[in-house]
Every structure is written in structure tokens, then in C-alpha cells.
Chains A and B, each alone.
Chain A
Amino acid sequence: MSKTLTRRTILKVASGGLAASFAMPAILRAQGAYPDRPINIVVPFDTGGYNDRLARAFAPFLQEKLGQPLTIINRGGAGALLGHTFFLQQPDDGYTLLCTSAAPYLPLNILTQDAAFKLEDFYMVNLPSQDYTLMATSAGSDIQTVDDVISRLKADPGSLSVGLQPASADLVNFSILCAANEIDTNAVRVVTYDGGGPARNAVAGGVVDVGLVGGEGFLPLAEQIRPLMTFDTRKRDNWDGAIVTDVLGADADFVVGSQRGWGLHGSMQTSNPEVFQTLVSAIEAASKDPAAIEGLKNQQLATDWYGPEESNQMLARTAKVMEQYIDLLKGN
């Protein structure tokens, strides 16, 4: 009998511990000078992705500036819709921050998923990571340049298979490229992947002829791919190949890739202006901390400081371009 008791006791202690840890934030609601208790960072993606890595790498530096420990909460799922909704459901008291790919996921949630929020519900303090679409092929491929791709697709749109993610900036960029060259996008063999990782693997392994995926993620695979075209007005990450203005002219239309970084509740500006100011300054100070810049650079993570004004403008601009291509993003 004593043995069953032991097991029950263990279970009780285990479940009690779990319950206590869940109840903790509610108990600690006492008010004092901000911040007087640990702060949560919501990452609307699962562990291991760029945002998760960014949040975990940046947290120690931000924590130092705020004087309270930061806890990272991963709320992945449904293209960040679940995490974004969860974040907005938390009180705007400065004890919940957001680290997300604001673009393209906030506009996508709003445009294609009937999200119950608007872009203005979020306030982006800083979006240090500015990803871009890279068109690439496998290192052993007979495709040498982006002109090869265009001429082959022009001759026969079904001659190449193209790997990308549905409802992505990459798809929009590919459609713009096709439209400019009078290629029928619907006749191209577009192969859709569930994430950037699988799409990049397919490019590196030559499973698809070319792929259009976020360029930063290609860095670890650099030896296995041949970059063909960067969808930005300048060279990025030292990739060879063309940039978008070489191919589509100086006033080229294109969508930037993921814009990732730090966000707050938009409503905080009026409801808790002091806390809001404290957080903005702390994120700025941590982003400019040389130790943080050094530490994040080593992990291929971005810390550049653009500031709230520019960050929110960049996001709004992306959202506007995405709205123009809403039919493509809604897909099928």
C-alpha cells in the first residue's frame, strides 16, 4: 500500500507544481514601479525558428536594461495568427512583449485570414531583420543566371519547376517577374512547400529546378546552391547573381521579405505612456549595446536600430504592396 501512496504523492506534487507555475502571473499582479515582476515575450512561432532564436539571443541584453527576467513563450500555429491574437489578449501593461515576423504575417493575418485585429493594434519598436527573396538553383544545375531562367520560361513556361511557399512574398515577387516578362504564371510548374526550410532543401538537392525563398536562411546552404537573383535594390549577404533593379529596371516593383523584430500593444501609447517610453528606450539601448551587437552577429541575427518611426512605416508600406496582390496571396 505504501507504494501506491508514494506514487500518488509524487503525482500530487507534480501536478501541484504545474498548477502553481501556471497560476504564478495572476498571483503577482501587485502594482509597483514598472517593471516589478518578470516580463513575457510572445513568439508566435515554434522553437528553433528565426524569431525564437532572435528573442532568446536578445533577451539577456534587454533583461539587463529592464532589470527583470524575461520569459519566452512560444505560441506557434496558423501562420502566427494564434500567437498574434494571444498577444493582443494580454493586458497592455508592458508585461507582454512581442517578437515576430511583422511582415508578412501581420498583413497576411489581416488580408487572408480574417484576423480580428488591425495593423494599428501593433506598434513596432524596431524591425532589425529585413529578409529578402533570393532566387537560387542547385550548385550542380545547368542554369547559370537569372536570364537562363527567364528565357527558358519564355520559351516554355512548363519547362522549369519552381519551389516556393504559398501566400508568400516570394510568390508575389515571382509573379511580378513573370508578368514583366510576359510569362504565364499559371503554366509554370510551381511546387509549394510548407516552410522555408523544406523549400531550400529542395533547391539544394536539385529536386526543383529553381526556388524563391527568404535569402538569410540560405546562408548555411551557401555551398550547395547557386544564387541567381536578389529581390532587393542592393546586394545582400554577398550573394552573387543579379539584383532586382538589374532585371526589372530602376523603378522595379517587388515585395520585401520577412521584417522581424520587436512589437508592443498599439494601445499602450495612450493607456500606459510611461511604461511605453521605458520599453522603447530599453529596446533601443539593448539594440545599441556593443555586446549585444557582437553576440547576435555571431549567430547571424540582426540588431540594427531603425527605430519605431521607420519600422512602422516599413511595415505599413509592405502591407500596402501586399494589399495590391491580395488575390495572389489568397491563393487558389
Chain B
Amino acid sequence: MIELDSVYGAFTLLSSDGNAWLYLLPGLLIGLVFGAMPGISITMAMAFALPATLYMDFLPAIIFLTAIYTGAGFGGSVPAVLMGIPGTSSAVATTFDGYPMARKGLHSEALGIALASSVIGCLASYAMLFVLIVPISGVVLKLGPLEMFAVAVWGMLLLGSLAGAHISRGILAGTFGVLLGTIGMNTAGFVRGTVGIPWLLDGVPQIPAMMGLLAASQLIGLINTTYLIEDESSRKISFAKILGGVRQCFRYPTIIFRGSLIGVIIGAIPGVGSSISNLLSYSETKRNAPDGDTFGEGNPKGVIAAEAANSSSEGGAMATMLALGIPGGGATAILLAAFAMHNIVGGPSFIAHNKDIVYAIMFSNFAQAILLFFVGLGFVYVAGYVVRVPLRFLIPSVLVVSTFGAYAIEGSSAGPITLWVFSVLGWGMVRYGYPVAAAVVGLLLGGLLEGNLLRTNQISGGDFIGYGLERPWALVIFALMIGSILLQIVSKRRRAKEAFLSTGSSS
């Protein structure tokens, strides 16, 4: 599967144009800064940079854009950890444990863990891409609505984990989120719940709604606190602790590997991508961890799971784009546009005729991941100073920046309006003990769930079981899902028994 001639060609290509490497650092920095701004998505960061690449050669242009992609993928995690605001929708699961860690004064460790898992996840995904690009592309297009529905259901299992003390409230919040996710015109052309507001035809704007639910509700709840971290002595930014977090990450190779695998596979499916993969990886890790109950209270494993998956989705999305010429999401659509600007058309013929370029892109991404580690270290060190800002300055500033971000992403006042409506909603949910995160997951998955269930109904003519039996991949996904739940029940029983035995013997 690896062709040495092309690999050699790739090295020649990369070493021939030294200028190409000059764009690596600015690309990463632009990505980090834009990704860290709440509301600025990876796609927007890349779209801003796209016109500049017109004046570059093909290879530098692609290296520049993919560097932004890599940088922005991690940048979104920085505010997720420090303030509980996911900078991009792919960092939602990072907030679940990263933010509690930061509140406990473990912000340096959390950022170190996030950075290291992102870098390893990114490296792992491109390494997998190296061997998987051809088989992945063969499978991806064959995934039908039932398979996508199965993936969405798998994501919904996370609701059980997010529910907290009252499982019924978790399910209620999740259902509410799904209902919100179905607002607008559905895939068959029906319009629901828009109450006559034209911009709701495309559904509730997801990113402003998510920012409102997760972030503003948290910040409003903090109004009587003076600093993010109560304990003054913990409010230090320590390089040693960041590096400690990096080391901590290496203790959980299984979590990283699982996260990367989920990330590559989910990332490769067009229209799903990193915003779903981080949720899936988090929920799988929580289910399989012996200390699963402490997830959500600042367990580093949660951060590792989320970050490994969202950064490795980049590799999966690139596989689909390179092998099929199909953009899996906004970011790869921009990359394809950049290809087109240089008169290169992606797709099967591209990969067959330009293996050296494909490998060159992969190798430059290895370099990006490694460089991201060093640039990221500096970036999180500086960003960490946020914890020293008194909340009376921080809360209004963040709300203002979020409002700008919400405007920027929607291009109209629909963004800020959504942000504020959902902030109030989120605050109310927190106040009355409903898990906000469950509503966010429902909102993110609602459209996917509904659209694919509807298409499954259309395609099968109503005969779900008969159609399901013809779809081996859907059966595999459902089997994996059920297996994972059973495994959890078995291991929980075993642990309970062990705990019972040990307490029994000691007393």
C-alpha cells in the first residue's frame, strides 16, 4: 500500500521548495488564535486565508492551509479548558473534564494533556491515513442512512453519562436538545417550529446556541466568584506542570489509540466529522474506564479521549478529500477550493496520478503536528494567564467576544440573538439541576439522527428490519455498540464485587 517511489518523490518535492516550510509557523499561529476565539470556526479561519494562497505555489498553499487546519483544531480546546467555552464545536467534550480541572487549579496540567493528546492524535491519524487511505475511501461512500443513524444513536448514548444525579433529567434535557435540533426545514422539505422566523429555516444556529448553553450559563453562575480558581496559590502558570500534563498523557496509550481510531473513522464520513467524534470517544472512554464515575469532575482521561479524537478527525477528513475529492466538512471544502485555484481537481484520478503530492501532504502534516507541540506549549503558557484575570473583567470581556463571534459566524444578528436566548436557557437549566451538556449533545445530533432515520424509512419503504439485514456495516456498528454496553455492565459488576470483597475482608 505504501509505494516507495512515491515516498521518495514526496521527499524530493518537500526538500526542493524550502519556501514551503516558511508558511508552517504562521499557519499554525493563525489557526491557534482563530480557533481559540469562541465562534470563529476552523472553516472561517481557513476561508480568511484562502485568498492569500492564490499568490503561492501549490505546495506552500496547501501546507499553509493544512497548518491552519491543524492549529485551529487545537486552538478550540484552549478556551474549552480555561473557560468551559468550546472555541469550535469539536471541543465540546473537552469542556466536560477540562474545565472542571481548570477550576480545581489543574489548568496547566489540563492544557498540557490537551496539547499532547492533540499532537499524538494528529500524528496517529496521519500515520493511519498512510496505510488506510485506499480502504477507507472504498467504504466511506457505501455508508448509507442506516449506518449514519447508528453512529448518531451511538453518540446519544453519551446522554446516560452526562445525566449526573438524575438520569431522568438528563434524558429530558437530551430530548429537548434533539427537538431543538429538528427545528427548521427537514430533509423532505417540511418546515417545523420556525415560528415564522426565516433564519430558523436552516435550524437553530448551532455554534452560538452551544456557546450560550455551555459558556454563558457557566459564567453567569460564577458572578459571585472573584477568580476562576478560588485558591490563590493554584493560580500559577507553570511550565513544569504543563509538561507534567504532557507526561500524564503518555500513561493512557489505549485511550489515545481508541480516540484516534474513532476520530479517523468518524472524520472520514462526509458530513459528520470532528464535532461528533470527540463526543463518541469521550463516551466510550467513560464507559470503559474503571473510574468512569469521576468523569465530568475533572478526570484527565476525559480530556485525552476528547482531544485525541477531535484532532485525528483531520486525518480522516483528509483521506476522504484526497481519495474521493469529496469534502467531509467546511475545512476540506476550502482545501478543495484551493486545489481548484491551482487547477488541480481532487478525486480518484488525483490520488492515482499524484501519489508524491499526497505523501508530501501527509509528511508535512507530521511536521506540523510536531511543530504544533512546541508552538502550542508557548501558546497555552500565555493563554493560561486568563486564570489570573479577575472575573469581573473576564466575564464581560468573554461575553462581548462571544457576541462578536456569534455575529461573525452567522453574518447577522441571528447569531447574537441565539447566543443570548440560549444563555438564559442554559442558566435556567443549571439553576434547576438539568444537565446543559446533554441538551448540547442533543442539539448537535438531532439533525443527523432525524434526517437519517427519515432517509432510512424512505429507502427501505418502511421495512427497517429487512433493509437492516442487507446492510452489514450498520449491523457491525450496532453490534459494537451493544458489545460496548454489555462490557460496561460486566466490568461494573466485577468491580462492585471486588469492592464488596475488599471492604468485606477489611472489616
Contacts and interface: CB of A to CB of B under 8 A. Distances in A.
Interface band, chain B: 35 or more
B390 A205 contact: no
Interface string A1-31: 0011001100100110010000000000000
A117 interface: no
B315 to A, nearest CB: 20
Given A7-B389, A48-B330, A189 B458 contact: yes
A190 B141 contact: no
Interface residues of A, number: 52
Nearest to B46: A47
A77 B199 CA distance: 7
A257 B202 CA distance: 22
Interface stretch (A128-136, A216-224, A281-289, A317-325): A216-224
A291 B187 CA distance: 41
B189 A166 contact: yes
Given A48-B337, A166-B187, A299-B343, A11 B400 contact: yes
B141 A11 contact: no
Interface in A62-81: 73-79, 81
Contacts of B400: 11, 15
A192 interface: yes
Given A11-B400, A221-B325, 20 more contacts: A3-B385, A3-B388, A47-B334, A79-B201, A81-B201, A158-B461, A189-B461, A192-B455, A197-B270, A198-B270, A201-B270, A207-B141, A207-B143, A220-B347, A221-B324, A221-B326, A223-B348, A299-B341, A331-B190, A332-B189
Given A47-B43, A75-B411, A78-B201, A299 B390 contact: no
A77 B206 CA distance: 13
30 contacts: A4-B390, A7-B386, A7-B393, A15-B400, A18-B404, A48-B333, A48-B337, A77-B198, A77-B201, A78-B201, A81-B198, A81-B201, A82-B199, A82-B412, A161-B459, A166-B187, A190-B458, A191-B145, A193-B187, A197-B327, A198-B270, A198-B271, A205-B143, A206-B141, A207-B141, A207-B145, A223-B348, A299-B341, A331-B188, A332-B188
Interface in A165-223: 166-167, 189-194, 197-198, 201-202, 204-208, 220-221, 223
A220 B346 contact: yes
A204 B189 contact: no
Interface string B335-351: 01100110101111100
B202 A77 contact: yes
Contacts of B189: 166-167, 192, 331-332
Contacts of B460: 189
B376 to A, nearest CB: 20
Nearest to B388: A3
A4 B141 contact: no
A238 interface: no
Contact of A224 (B43, B199, B348, B401): B348
B187 A192 contact: yes
A83 B390 CA distance: 42
Interface string A66-103: 00000001111111011001000000000000000000
Nearest to A18: B404
Interface string B309-323: 000000000000000
A96 to B, nearest CB: 15
A53 interface: yes
Interface string B290-319: 000000000000000000000000000000
B451 A205 contact: no
A73 B411 CA distance: 9
Nearest to B333: A48
A166 B454 CA distance: 13
B19 interface: no
A270 interface: no
A151 interface: no
Contact of B142 (A53, A206, A331): A206
Contacts of B145: 191, 207
Given A194-B451, A220-B345, A4 B388 contact: yes
Contacts of A56: 51, 337
A182 B347 CA distance: 39
A224 B141 contact: yes
Contacts of B345: 220, 300
Interface in B136-158: 140-145
Nearest to A158: B461
